[in-house]
Structure 1
Amino acid sequence: MIKRRIGALAAALVLGLTGAGAGQALAAPPVWTHEASDLSPHPRATFGRLPNGFRYVILPNTSPAKGASLRLRLDVGSLHEADNERGLAHFLEHMAFAGSKNVPPGELFRSLERIGVRKGDGVNAFTSSTQTTYNMDLPLADEASLDIALKLMREVGALTLDPKAIDAERLVVLNEKRLREGPMTQLTVDQFAYWFPGRRAGDRLPIGTEEVIRTAPYERIRDFYRRYYRPDRAVLVIVGDIEPAKVEAKVRALFADWQAEGPAGEEPELGAPGARKATAKVFVEGALPPRVSLAWMRPYDPSPQTMGSIRAMIAEYLGLAVLNRRLERQASGASPPFTAALAQREDALRSGRMTVMQASAPADGRAALQALILAQRQLLEHGVSQAELQVEIADWRARLQNRAYGTVTEPSGRLADEILQTLEENGVFTSSEQDIVIFDEAVKGMKPADVEAALRSAFSGEGPLVTVVTPFSVEGGEETVLAAVHEAQIRPVAPPSVQAKAWAYKSFGQPGKVATQRKIEDLEATLVTFANGVRLTVKPTKFRTGQVLVGVRIGEGRLALPADRSSPDWAATAFVLGGLKAMSYDDVTLALAGKVWSVSPSITDNAFRLDGSTRPEDFETQLQLMAAYVADPGWRAEAFERVRSQLGVNISRMDGTPGGILQRQVRTLMRSGDRRWAQPTAVEIRAARLDELKAALGPQLASGELEVTVVGDVTAEEAIAAVGRTFGALPPRAKPANGTTLAKGPTFPGKPPTPIKLQHYGRADQSLALTAWPLPDFFADPQGARTMRVLEQVIALRLFDRLRGEQGLAYATETEMLSSEVFSGYGYLMAMAEVKPQDGDKVFAGISAIVADLRAREITADELERAKRPRVEEYAAGRQTNAYWLAALAGVHEDPRRIESARTLLPQIQAVTPADLRAAAQRYLTEEKAWKAHIVPVGQNQTAAVL
């Protein structure tokens, strides 16, 4: 599906459309779109339709092996609701898990857990403005498991909608609404009303209204269900390691008897954009980061996707890619008008096609707004150069080629989601190989004039519709904003000037010699040490053809930092954006256009990390880039200031939600105040300097111990040679310390006499209550750590059932476990729930009751299987991915126990018994060790701990 894949490669712009459940185009009519298009569909996909109108798509795919992903899409969302039905589409999504003709309430999740499907990760659903979709990812799609999954999907068409279950679910949905509402949701509501005045899209968020959720009569809910949950509005997608003919027979037999009841639901009248020219809207909201945006809206086009529409779309995307590269260049320069800016096209809620430019503007909203307008005018008045166009075409083609190269190992879940997206967009689902052909045909002979024509269309229609989000009122309001717009619209603009540099980091000196080399046969990994002390672990795989992952660990990470101040990990991004001494980051991106590469920095407990993903033909370039960042970083002040400015604006937002306080304060308190795990305060951000980041990372980069891990579609010989030419050629590195002795680090706090009270500055009806217990480090008792991992899942299941299912106190319940492999004697297990402030004690009581029961009696064999099987399948599936092995093999040179850990993970999980769980609960989950905290809103007359 080239539209999805081309669009996915564009820089994403957060408009609030997706988060608010936006649909993107008219759903396919009761015939497949490719039947009305000149594009051919995926050659291996089976498209079918039953006499009752029910449709299905089946696609064989072997990644992950033996697994499958199922999606059931109903063509109904919040746009289909009348005023007295607002929220019912989403409410019915909840009711699908609350009992049906053949599945009693609560049994659906249990049935899936028994076949290894985890709640949330493996089974979920969502409702948008245009669709309701049910998702299942089966780790093992054997005949029995597939039969269970298909029967449960069929039950969506046979919901009982019992009045008692409806009333119970009202509390859950209201809790979800309370949890999700806040400044960002309100901004989305206000912005939609501004973009779509007087139209249905302007007031139809999927969550609905509290009045409808609380009071909608059972008959109204049943009527909505019968009008829209119909076989002719449903499509089932199955992608996986399956036999299509056999699965198709099952689908046809199982779904043929689904019959619609009563009259069909009507399609909503959504209207069309008007004739507004430049207008402005100012939103004053102190809890949100300041930003400005410009939107142009054209009529929505529901036509089926064709080669002609794809060519026009690609021309538009390429033009916006040029614009985004120019905006990024401005953001990374000296005294930038904004810290980040992007342009993107979106089909918005079947109500218009929008082109939006948006910028983060922490300093000067006027300057940011005018910079966006000038960049747009420069694009339209001076066009794009042939060189710019060729750079973007090369980038698109490289990524599409990389995708096509790995198509045989593309994840089933991603493919299933792409099929869903074609249904939303009235598109044609094509293969990655087809996409290359389509793209090359679309760009054949494409000239800058073609792109410029597409851009003129993109910036036509209503608009610009200007939005300003600011913490302070604007003197003169919208009139002042429009005056700034008008001023920028008449100011002269000069053509752009860009000089591309050649890649400057191809050689690092004499290739390093291999000092030692050995192979771990059962893990199929090779361990190499070079003469300069650099260590390499390489594991060739075919999990995903065309993918090579590279991880670089340098120095000691947080271990080398002082414990009395926050870690500079927030500034790690500035290290990459600062580029290299000989090349700015913009120079790097231009020089490496047409190649596939990435660099993601992070500071971990025991290393500074650089992680990247590439393809075999660009593997050497990826290593050259990462080695250049180690040997010759740019340390540009403007990059540091850019990141510091962004965080300075966003850090205060974290105090506006219980979850933000959890991140900012609880994680540090649970380490007895060790500030290496603390988010910096606003004062610390303002005082931060680039020299501090250089002081923290510079010595580690210059001589700290260095380990490279390579996993993926590469041979051991190729990896050894390429690493030898790059990292192996660097100056000598420090020798690693004895990794079998864990470091002395943070300690878990003692039990407070009463729950610690923390405060957030958000909604008065939101709080988070949590209980945590200390655990030993991983290597103190590996089997015990795996036992606790299963016990964590048991607690998660019971917490969900008790606080959400039985009591209706919470929508979100969660557990978290850490068993450190770095710090001696440190770990914890935490259980938490987001509830109303007055219900915090009920959460503590509920958690205490759960663990008391676990200490008092052994769980049943069925509950053990439901807790353990998803973990087993999750790990088994993970071992089929490069990402899993990149993490599992990190550090094996310095600590050989990690090798044994990789070997024993599954056997140790499988060995856990009910008696083991009870003994672990008795040992660790005692009331005497329980550390409790309650995050409440300001104004609750509670004493707050402040960091």
Structure 2
Amino acid sequence: MRWIFWWALGCAALSAHGQPRPWPHEVSDLPVNPAVTWGRLDNGVRYAVAPNAEPAERVSLRLLVLAGSMHENERQRGYAHFVEHLAFDGTRLYPGQTLHATLQQTGLARGPDVNAHTHTDRTIYRLDLPQPTPERLRLGLGVLREFADGMMLDPAEVARESNVILIEKRARDSHSQRAHAAFMRFLFPAGPLTDPSAFGTEESIRTATAAELRRFYETWYRPENLVVVAVGAIEPAAVAREIATAFGSLPARAEAAPVVNLGPLTNPDALVVGVEPSTDAAGAASFLLASIAPVLPVDTRASVQEMLLRTMAFDALNRRLDLLQRRESALLLHASASYSSGPVFQQALLRIDTSPREWRAAVERLEQERRRALLHGFTPAEIELSRERARALLQHAATAERTLLSEPYADALAESIAAHRVFLAGVELEQIALSAVERATPEECLEVFRHAWGPGHPRLFASGPFTLARPAEQFAAVFRRSAQTPVKAPRPAAPVHFAYTDFGRPGKIVARDHVGDLDLHRIRFANGVRLNLKSTPFEAGRIVYGGRFGTGAAGEPGRLPGLRAFVEHGVTVFGLGRHDQHALRQLAAGQLSSLSITTGEEAFYIAGVSDRAGAERLLQLLAAQFTDPGWRASDLPVVQQRIVAQLDETLRNAGNYLTARRQELLTGGDSRYRLPRPGEVLRYTVRDFRRWFEPQLQHAPLEIGIVGDFDVEAMVQLASRTLGCLPRREPGPVPRPVRFLPQLPPTHETIPATVRQAAVQLAWSVPAPRGVRVEHHLELLADVLRNRLMQEIRGELGATYAASCQLWRSDVRRDTGYLIAALVCEPADVARIAETTRRIADRLARDGATAEEFERARQPRLLDAPVQLRSNGYWLGMAVAAAQSQTEELERPRQRVLDLEQATASDISALAAEVLPAERASVFTAAPEKTP
């Protein structure tokens, strides 16, 4: 379907407002999607309804409100997001905090099934209904109607929710978010586009009144600004009647607001430079060269085809910049090009990340590579690679449409309406777009590339820890001097041929069985590699891969703490022996696949995805990773910078830091469970990494699971020619033992954060495994506790944005686990929130769970279980990936529904009494050293 393709490319557009709105296809020459029923009520409310088979017995409802942060005036910053929050804090039919309780008892989980999001140009409310009986459908539509004109906006709720929003705003703060916000302020110094977060300012949130919020609500939540979307197990005509019943009486309660003045969406006549100082511990500087233009008001065949050509051009430039970064890795940490079309403006962008001392090289490369492309265009070989990728995306979109899930289908339909884009069927998109892709020439791609940079001069923006006296002036001077340097046409790159197609004699199968009730095939090759396969019809054309090998963090050398951080980034950046990272990207132009390796507690984890055509290549890449990895010392600075940047973000986020620190403390300070130190990362060499990791690749036991749309026997043959040919796998050294502590005294951590952000986490050790049934009951207990925390700490106190509760089991010590509760809050509140959480859990231990709250926890899981059992990801993670090494896990899919059906409130109460007494809690808190 078209949404898959456009979301991959980043495409949206601006909708008109303040007047009756046509459907996008009514003003376009593109064909309407025949699967969707489009309608408009007399009061102006519109609806789009589509039947869909997957998942069975589910309906996804959306209320699209064509109002977002760009519709706020200066005094209303953050109001659109504020109103969205208040939708769940009391309506006519659901006063106070009763809405979530009602929906949970109906089977909708808070978060996954009930949610809302505010964007620049729109707000979307989401309900995903299980088993959509007529009564449930009316309930869901009734809730959406409550959101449309039934919010109470009680002053007490406004005061409480303002604190929740401020906590959310701070929790989402990060270096990258602040840099992006500064970039947007540079592009749009004034007007509604200045703040991309939709949060508003602390002052506007704190001073907002119920009357002012109601004025915004009634002004923008008008019938002509509302669209109801329904996708799933429905009969369109019947649903259209229910929508008319629910929304037909909705009135316009205020005068329509005038059209929003967005300010100029043009480029300056001469170079303008903006600089944002930063304290990023990773020490990197970013340089962005950007051009903006208004979005096209109408979606047409011509605009679709132009977007395709533009995407091909930027794809070609991206590969060119990737090669540049490879050649100059000592200077450039990252180089990329992109083109995006948001709700109100389009943007062409070039970006280079480098060390601050290499700022001259970054500025020069930005100016010259853009100019080189504008003057000389692209080679036929570059455009051919772009053609391969576009073709693969289009073909995959058409295939994936056959089993598209209702939830992303509904999201895509709502987003396309908001963006005023015609919602094409995948087959129609393929027919319209493929013709443009196949006949595209380098000259046509150059023409649309030049048009993307528009009239006027692009802006240059830099962020980083600069020590220059006048950085903006110095950057501008280097940019202008660089413009006087002649640039040559790009030289055609030598063709690259994939070098890893023959791994020798196919591996011999020495054991094979079929687990009939799970339709799972288990195979063991003579070299010791274990392969688990499950073919499913759940996602047409898509295959997922998951595996494990080696010792993971448990085998990290004690004298080299933190070396495990090199795995995630090093495997990608170092490439293979005969193909560096750039060559691999070039070879992957027509392949829709990805492969990664990360470090777990007791193993290294493999994760991959491909379409059917890419299965052989993915297995070849995986086999090549085990037999001929790249160990390029020239790439070390890039790997180190990425690790340090990731660590910096973690250290500046209270919740993420506390999670890592908690694991270290619960293991008595074991270095394998602590965050690496930046100094350690910068000290280690490729030789250090290779000496530890290479033996794991060469000989460690390997097990891989594959789930998806494939023929089992064909996949067995592919695996035998790749993984079956690997050197024999042998048990490795026994890792150092790890010790988990049942309880710790309260621990407070300080972090070098620059925002007012704090975190609270409590851990209770849970009983040793007593079967899958008890595990499922512990998950229900976690849900009951989370609901209480959300009700009391967020709903009543307004002292947190989110609370999570989950079960964590160690993979190294299978007899060890914890129930973890995690919350974010104000720094001054950490002691109170920690004690309140401990007290709420203790009360649950003493008094048990009520029948009502037990059902609120059980119903969403019970009704979601059939959906999970038709999910490739669930099968891979819960059963298939380790079906031979952890055979006990096969009981999870077998018992999931039965355990939930037979569970009682008494079962959960007994577990609560065993796990949650106050004296068993370990309390961890984190807050910044200084509160801004």
Is 1:775–1:924's contact at 8 Å kept on the other side of the alignment? Answer: yes
* Deviation per residue, 1:747-795 (Å, 9 max, x gap): 3335444x21211111463211221112245x44433222211111111
Following superposition, the deviation at residue 697 of structure 1 comes to: 2.0
Q: Please, which moves more after superposition, 786-795 or 459-468?
A: 459-468
Alignment of 1:72-91 (within 5 A): 72-91=63-82
Give runs of aligned pairs for residues 850-869 of structure 1, distance below 5 A. 850-869=840-859
8 Å Cα contact 1:295/1:354 also seen in 2 = no
Among candidates 835, 838, 861, match of residue 845 of structure 1: 835
- The one-character-per-residue Cα deviations of 1:345-402 (angstroms, maximum 9, x if unpaired) are 233552x322111222235233223222222122122210111111111111112212
> Which of the numbers 617, 620, 626 marks the counterpart of 1:621?
617
Structure 1 residues 758 and 705, CA gap change in structure 2 (3 angstroms): same
Give the direction of change, closer, same or farther, for the CA distance of 1:895–1:811 in structure 2 (3 Å limit): closer
Deviates more, 1:655-664 or 1:388-397: 655-664
Q: Which moved more, 1:544-553 or 1:160-169?
A: 160-169
Deviation digits for residues 46-100 of structure 1 (CA, Å, limit 9, x no counterpart): 1111111101111222222222222211111122122222222111111111111
When residues 349 and 114 of structure 1 are mapped into structure 2, their CA distance, relative to the original with a 3 A threshold, is same
Amino acid at match of 1:171: N
Out of 265, 286, 311, the residue aligned to residue 279 of structure 2 is 286
2:803 to 792, 796, 813: 813
Q: Match of 1:944?
A: none
When normalised by structure 1's length, the TM-score is 0.93
Whole-Å separation in 2 of the counterparts to 1:274 and 1:613: 40
In the superposition, the TM-score normalised over structure 2's length comes to: 0.94
- The equivalent position to 1:560 in structure 2, one of 555, 558, 578, is 555
Contact 1:98 1:106 in 2 (8 A): yes
Summarize the alignment of residues 485-634 of structure 1 with structure 2, pairs less than 5 Å apart: 485-497=479-491, 498-562=493-557, 565-634=561-630
Q: Secondary structure at the match of 1:339?
A: strand
Say whether the 8 Å CA contact 1:64–1:412 is kept in structure 2. yes
C-alpha deviation, 1:111, in angstroms: 1.8
Verify: 1:725 aligned to 2:714, yes or no: no
Q: Does 1:307 align with 2:296?
A: no
Q: Distance in 2 between matches of 1:470 and 1:873?
A: 49
SS in 1 for 2:186: helix
Question: C-alpha separation between the residues in 2 aligned to 1:837 and 1:359?
Answer: 36
Alignment of 1:160-199 (within 5 A): 160-181=152-173, 184-199=176-191
Residues 48 and 229, structure 2, Cα contact 8 Å, conserved in 1: yes
**DSSP-derived class of the 1:30 partner:** coil
Are 1:448 and 2:437 counterparts?
A: no
Note if contact 2:545-2:705 (Cα within 8 Å) is conserved in structure 1: yes
**Alignment match, 1:672:** 668
In 2, distance between residues paired with 1:906 and 1:524? 18
**8 Å contact 1:175–1:811 — kept in the other structure?**
yes
Residue 883 in 1 paired to residue 873 in 2? Answer: yes
Q: Residue 898 of structure 1: which of 879, 889, 893 is its match?
A: 889
Q: List aligned pairs for 1:431-470, cutoff 5 A.
A: 431-470=425-464
- Find out whether 1:683 has 2:679 as its counterpart: yes
Distance in 1, Cα, partners of 2:462 & 2:615: 43
Give the C-alpha shift of residue 130 in structure 1: 1.2
Question: Displacement, 1:903?
Answer: 1.7
Q: Is the 8 A contact 2:374 2:446 kept in 1?
A: yes
Residues 462-521 of structure 1 deviation map (CA, whole Å, 9 limit, x = unaligned): 432111111233222211010121122222323333112212211111112221211100
Q: Find the counterpart in structure 2 of residue 796 from structure 1.
A: 786
**Per-residue Cα deviation, 1:236-262 (whole angstroms, up to 9, x for no partner):** 111223222222221122111111113
The 3-state SS of whatever aligns with 1:202 is coil
Change (3 A) 1:893 1:274: closer
1:655 partnered with 2:651: yes
| Contact 1:803–1:810 (CA under 8 A) maintained in structure 2 | yes
1:268-307 Cα deviation digits (max 9, x unpaired) = 1113225342111111110476333334434313421001
Equivalent in the alignment of 2:50: 59
Provide the rounded CA distance (Å) in 2 between the counterparts of 1:659 and 1:328. Answer: 34
Match of 1:393 among 383, 387, 394: 387
CA distance in 2, matches of 1:132, 1:318: 32
User: Are the equivalent residues in 1 in contact too, given 2:89–2:97 (CA < 8 A)?
Assistant: yes
Classify 1:199/1:86 alpha carbon distance in 2 versus 1 (closer, same or farther; 3 Å). closer
Matching residue of 2:221: 229
- Residue by residue over 1:174-199, the C-alpha shift from the partner in whole angstroms, topping out at 9 and shown as x without a partner, is 33334345655554443323212344
Q: Is the 8 A contact 2:387 2:438 kept in 1?
A: no
* C-alpha separation in 2, matches of 1:262 and 1:928: 56
Identify which range, 685-694 or 177-186, moves more after superposition. 177-186
CA distance in 2, matches of 1:70, 1:53: 19
User: Pairwise mapping of residues 293-372 of structure 1 onto structure 2 (< 5 A)?
Assistant: 293-333=287-327, 335-348=329-342, 350=344, 352-362=345-355, 364-372=358-366
**CA distance, structure 2, for counterparts of residue 184 and residue 532 of structure 1:** 46
Determine what percentage of the aligned residue pairs are the same residue. 29
* d(CA) in 2 for partners of 1:563, 1:825: 24
C-alpha deviation, 1:604, in angstroms: 1.9
Give per-residue Cα distances to partners, 1:551-610, cap 9 Å, x unaligned: 232223233334562251443332133222222232233234322221111122232232
Residue equivalent to 2:143 = 152
Question: 471, 474, 481: which is aligned to 1:477?
Answer: 471
In structure 1, the residue matched to 2:31 is 40
CA offsets, 1:396-416, max 9 Å, x none? 111221221121111222222
Cα 1:886–1:185 change in 2 (3 A) is closer
1:112 to 81, 103, 112: 103
Letter in 2 for 1:675: S
More deviation, 29-38/586-595: 586-595
Matched, 1:836 2:826: yes
Distance between the aligned counterparts of 2:147 and 2:796, measured in 1?
Answer: 22
Give the Cα–Cα distance (whole angstroms) in 1 for the partners of residues 511 and 176 of structure 2: 55
Whether the 8 Å CA contact 1:747–1:826 is kept in 2: the answer is no
Secondary structure of residue in 1 paired with 2:873: helix
For structure 2, the residue ranges without an aligned partner over 5 or more in a row are: none
Please show how residues 911-930 of structure 1 align to structure 2 within 5 Å: 911-930=902-921
Whole-angstrom distance in 2 between the partners of 1:786 and 1:147: 32
Distance of aligned partners of 1:148 and 1:570 in 2 relative to their CA distance in 1, 3 Å threshold: farther
Who is 1:932 aligned against?
A: 923
For residue 693 of structure 2, the aligned residue among 683, 694, 697 is: 697
Q: What is the CA–CA distance in structure 1 between the aligned matches of 2:540 and 2:906, rounded to whole Å?
A: 43
Q: 1:646 aligns with which of 642, 649, 658?
A: 642
Give, in angstroms, the shift of residue 867 of structure 1. Answer: 0.9
Q: Separation in 1 of the partners of 2:380 and 2:166?
A: 55
Q: Which residue of 245, 256, 268 corresponds with 2:248?
A: 256
Q: Quick one: structure 1 residues 448 and 182, their matched pair in 2 at CA, closer, same or farther if it must change by over 3 Å?
A: closer
Q: CA RMSD in A?
A: 2.5
Q: Once the two structures are superposed, what CA deviation does each residue of 1:93-150 show, in whole Å capped at 9, x if it has no partner?
A: 1111111122222121112212222212221111122111111223433433322211
Aligned residue for 1:599, secondary structure, equals strand
Cα contact 1:55–1:232 (8 A) shared by 2: yes
Secondary structure in structure 2 of the residue aligned to 1:762: coil
1:655/1:557 CA distance change after superposition, 3 Å: closer
Asked whether the equivalents of residues 567 and 676 of structure 1 are also in contact (C-alpha less than 8 Å), the reply is no
Distance 1:667 1:543, change over 3 A: same
Checking the alignment, whether the CA contact within 8 Å between 1:227 and 1:263 is kept in structure 2 is yes
- Aligned with 1:299: secondary structure? strand
SS at match of 2:860: helix
Aligned residue in 2 for 1:15? none
2:15 is aligned with what amino acid? L
Aligned partners of 2:292 and 2:428: how far apart in 1?
30
1:713 aligns with 2:694: no
How far apart, CA to CA, are the structure 2 residues paired with 1:619 and 1:764?
A: 46
2:706–2:880 CA contact under 8 A, matched in 1? no
What's the counterpart of residue 376 of structure 2? 382
1:245 match: 237
CA gap of 1:784–1:393, structure 2 versus 1, over 3 A, is same
Partner amino acid, structure 2, of 1:600: S
